[in-house]
Structure 1
């Protein structure tokens, strides 16, 4: 019996890159030079058989080579259903699981974290790689290697600083002699289900489809929501970012929010682009040197105008966050209020965000017919959720704040201990 094994026929690569296309074209050229055929199609057939592609593909690659360079097809992004099914509540729970490791004095690793988050109530459906992408891209954590020691899972310094600043400022307001009333605001897009009768096939049958989209803006504090600040706005586009812009938000802010909130309020909002239009942007690389010098002069920042533009931009980078002013903040200040912005990735500190998420679920689960006013259905859902669950979500957000305060103290204490005691690698 022969020991020789039959050679495996190489399978066609699922995605033909430019390098493989060039190989196919070179095989064609070799056959054309060294073997005599009457027709080009015969050479293409032999090339196709040798390279395990179709003759049509060989012809197409040859044509690409004649016109210009042979390029690879665009890389397809693999869908990530795990991320779509992980809502903001689950993501917050994962973040708190990471910090809980520090509370227990345990070095967090991906394997240990995955073991925890796969259990209810989180029930994370992905694996190690999906979890790593989630915590690095969406939660603001990263593995940082300490000097000659194993990497540690750490929250990004900028996010940690924003969170600490927010918790300190809101606590300072609550402990002050005359605390400002806290007014939280947020927006969300909903798409109610609508039923219509159609008679093209079966008389009286009903068809369900997604109705027009609506933007809901809501505001409220510990005493309840602000009725005059409720906005329900129909929109046509599918993309929320295309429909909610600074002009719409500014109109709502000036004409519905500010006239209806208590005097000297503390308005809490996130850093959405339409909340954050700058009055005057800081200089960048494309700004002229003279404009860069003027910005430094206007803000009384010490500098030497004879410095190069690159040196001046380094000075700008140090001070720009301290001098940036948002248009909305100025409107609030002129009316006697103050704006406090939520830290990045911490929308759960905002009870209105949690309430709007419940309202959206209620609206999109409900079915209505076209004879009903969709706006009335949305208003009723808002009233029902707020009357039953406003206080629940408000106190839930306060509990989350206090939990993070405790976890942050444990995080800093444990982190220093870990850095000192990690084994050298």
Structure 2
């Protein structure tokens, strides 16, 4: 459940971990939104995958039956990543997106990126939602490509040349002789301000 047993002011209390608090906060906000708007439609979107010939890596086998464990396994074929949206009445028309995953990585998320997702939202999801004359709320998970930050400031792990390039792009003055640590100290306030704005 994510509880910690911690002593506070001489008393022992249970504290929820941050990710549990975030989930509870989300659920409360979502329920308030649903209760405050009449006829609000909840639209859910997500990605999944499917193999052309089905997944053959795992199958039910029996130790006593040699035929149930074949020596030759048919290839799974191409993998497709599916992006779709749906609500209580079913899938949204015109929101299906099938991507042929050309890489062999088992993680289907690597077939997606922020550009593909943004194009799908602009060209398929928004037009599908515009056909309704009702308010709707779109629910999605926090996959990296669902929230791409534009013009993201460098991190402390960025290369020195990347930090300098970012400063030059934003017309911020800095000494070219600055070390990476000095540049990072100048960047930190920009990153902190971005977090407050979000």
Q: Which has the larger radius of gyration?
A: 1
Q: 2:35 aligns with which of 159, 175, 178?
A: 175
- Per-residue CA deviations over 1:95-120 (Å, capped at 9, x if unaligned) read xxx4xxxxxxxxxxxxxxxxxxxxxx
- Name the counterpart of 2:63: none
Measured in 1, the distance between the counterparts of 2:42 and 2:150 equals 25
- Name the counterpart of 1:339: none
1:214 matched to 2:89: no
Q: 1:273 aligns with which of 122, 144, 168?
A: 144
1:230 matched to 2:104: no
- The CA deviation at 1:218 is 1.6
Structure 2 spans left out of the alignment, 5+ residues: 55-71, 171-182
Distance 1:164 1:283, change over 3 A: farther
- Name the counterpart of 2:17: 156
- The CA deviation at 1:233 is 2.3
Measured in 2, the distance between the counterparts of 1:212 and 1:187 equals 17
- The CA deviation at 1:323 is 1.8
Matches within 5 A, 1:6-405: 98=1, 141=2, 143=4, 145-146=6-7, 155-157=16-18, 159-178=19-38, 180-193=40-53, 208-239=74-105, 240-261=108-129, 262=132, 264-282=135-153, 284-285=155-156, 287=163, 310=185, 313=188, 316-317=191-192, 319-324=193-198
- Name the counterpart of 2:69: none
Q: Which moved more, 1:168-177 or 1:276-285?
A: 276-285
Distance 1:282 1:144, change over 3 A: farther
Measured in 1, the distance between the counterparts of 2:187 and 2:150 equals 21
- The CA deviation at 1:254 is 1.6
- Per-residue CA deviations over 1:35-86 (Å, capped at 9, x if unaligned) read xxxxxxxxxxxxxxxxxxxxxxxxxxxxxxxxxxxxxxxxxxxxxxxxxxxx
- The CA deviation at 1:274 is 1.0
Question: Secondary structure of 1:278's match?
Answer: coil
**Larger strand proportion of the pair:** 2
Measured in 1, the distance between the counterparts of 2:151 and 2:21 equals 24
Measured in 1, the distance between the counterparts of 2:76 and 2:82 equals 17
Answer whether contact 1:216 1:230 (CA < 8 A) is retained: yes
**Larger helix proportion of the pair:** 1
Distance 1:177 1:252, change over 3 A: closer
TM-score using structure 2 length:
0.61
